[in-house]
Amino acid sequence: MISHICRASSRWIFFTALIYAPWAYGATTSTSIQVTNWILLAALVLWAVELLVSRRTPRFPRLLLLLVVALVCVGGWMVLNAKSIYDSDFSVFVPLRNFASPLAGSVDYTISAAWMIRGALLLGTILFVSELSQSNRWLLRLWYVIGLVAGSIASLGLLQKATGAQMIFWQPPPPPQFWVHTFFATYYYHGNAGAFLNLVWPLSAGLVIRAFSKRSHPGMRATWISLFILTIAGVLANTSRMAQLLAAALLLAICLQFGSGLVRKLSGTEKSVALAGALAIVLALVALAQATHLEQPLNRWQSEGDRISNDARWKASRVAMGALPEVGFFGFGPGTFRVVFPGYNIEAVNQAPGGWRFLHEDYLQTLMEWGWMGSILWALLFFGAIAIGIRSYNKHARRDWAPRRRVLQPLIIIALVGVALHALVDFPFQVESIQVYVATYLGICWGSPLWREKSEARRRRSDSWDTSDVTITLH
């Protein structure tokens, strides 16, 4: 009984983190980051208690556990052997006494320690979701929560556009010199909002596909279609050009994956109804575009040609590449980009103007912070999850998986590929709300090989029951 309560509580608390993080300014403020961390910690502690009470071993791949432990060890060592703390008032590194001076250590103990607390919780989240995904019911609940959050965030952004809001509704308008005029929904920076929407709207599309595939109640169909329209319209209304470009690519990938199968399942009458529904969706998007001032992102596309070559992010990336020969095996320490980059920028021939808290190129920033060893581990964790998800789907989906899993898994992979591409020109992997959702998707992919084992175990139990029934009957 206690184990059941702890298991259910940990999962509902985790769902709370999925709701809270994007609504609390995308978990980009110090307060929202701390609260998100506490929520994740509560979920993981309850999960650990449930495992201890029930005396069972959690279910996730050994390779995933190995990568998680390796990343915690690498980052933890950089914190324990930190060489200095950065003094922002005087822009100097204050040396620290460390116990292994010749070995690698973070250049800023405080920043790296804070980052590793968050990183350990996110890595624990991957393990947690990997096991949660073994339950059909909880996986569906997780899917519903993501779909509802996607629709709510997009709705707020569209309402702000429609009313001409100068800032997030409950925030005062910013001074003209600040960049937050590009806010969308609860995100101060439109690029982060676009990356988040591209993570969640494919799953909204999946709920629509599922609703039509399994002949759901008309009310459910209407609900998911409405949320899908709002989420897609939110991507279009957002002024992030990269997010819009990726949304078009993701939509094409989803159509290629599911389009032919859905068409084959529909009868002649249903195809006519589907065509009429598609036209209705297009008209609804046009109406929303007019109401939410879609001409703003269109104007940004028209002026794009003049801005691409002069974008400061390319200069910043060149400065970061100049620092790569010095990052070594373990880098400068988790989260330390913002204190390391200014020194290299000052010495660069072509300096990047302004201050840079994040590099608009997540892979280069990861190399600077984690070095070659840590970056390889992160790449194995992220891209390995995609590879394992694809392999599991191709080998076992048709024969061993429930229909909801066959729909969800390709959408998870498509969304992860989208955010991986977005990270080439922005910093989605540095935003905690996006990190939480990426960790969730990675957990699903890493857990997918075990879905087959579970179905095989169920099939063996069914076979044994059938044999006993036959024996009793013959007797």
Q: What is the pLDDT of residues 355-378, one digit of tens each?
A: 899 999 999 999 999 999 999 999
What is the β-pairing status of strands 84-87 and 92-95? antiparallel
C-alpha distances in angstroms, 29 versus 245, 359, 432? 28, 18, 10
How far, in Å, CA of 273 to CA of 341, rounded?
56
What token pair was written down for 131? Answer: 């096991």
Contact 246, 423 (CB under 8 A): no
DSSP 187: B
* 416, pLDDT greater than 60: yes
pLDDT score at 462 = 40
In degrees to the nearest 10, what's the CA dihedral of 18, 19, 23, 24?
Answer: -60
Strands (E), 230-324: none
Can you give the residue ranges of every domain in the chain?
A: 1-57, 58-132+316-449, 184-303
**How many C-beta atoms surround the C-beta of residue 38 within 10 A?**
12
Q: Locate tokens 């006993």: which residue?
A: 468
Q: Residues of 147-170 as b/e, b for ≥16 C-beta within 10 angstroms?
A: bbbbbbbbbbbbebbeeeeeebee
Confidence of residue 172 (pLDDT cuts 50, 70, 90): confident
How far, in Å, CA of 397 to CA of 390, rounded?
10
Output the DSSP codes for 358-396: S-S-HHHHHHHHHHHHHHHHHHHHHHHHHHHHHHHHHHH
pTM equals: 0.89
What token pair was written down for 460? Answer: 């063996």
Contact 138, 449 (CB under 8 A): no
Give the angle 342-344-348 at the CA atoms, nearest 5°.
115
DSSP 62: H
Give the angle 158-288-159 at the CA atoms, nearest 5°.
20
How far, in Å, CA of 252 to CA of 190, rounded?
23
Please name the residues in contact with 442: beta carbons below 8 A apart, sequence gap of 6 or more. Answer: 126, 129, 381, 382, 385, 416
Tens-place pLDDT, residues 330-339: 999 999 999 9
* Burial of 52: CB neighbours in 10 Å, binned 0-12, 13-18, 19+: exposed
pLDDT score at 264 = 65
Residue with the larger pLDDT of the pair 349 and 181: 349
Confidence of residue 301 (pLDDT cuts 50, 70, 90): very low
Please state which of the ranges 195-199, 343-347, 355-359, 454-458 shows the lowest mean pLDDT. 454-458
Confidence of residue 468 (pLDDT cuts 50, 70, 90): very low
3-state secondary structure of 93: strand
Tens-place pLDDT, residues 35-53: 999 999 999 999 999 999 9
Residue with the larger pLDDT of the pair 109 and 397: 109
How far, in Å, CA of 420 to CA of 414, rounded?
10
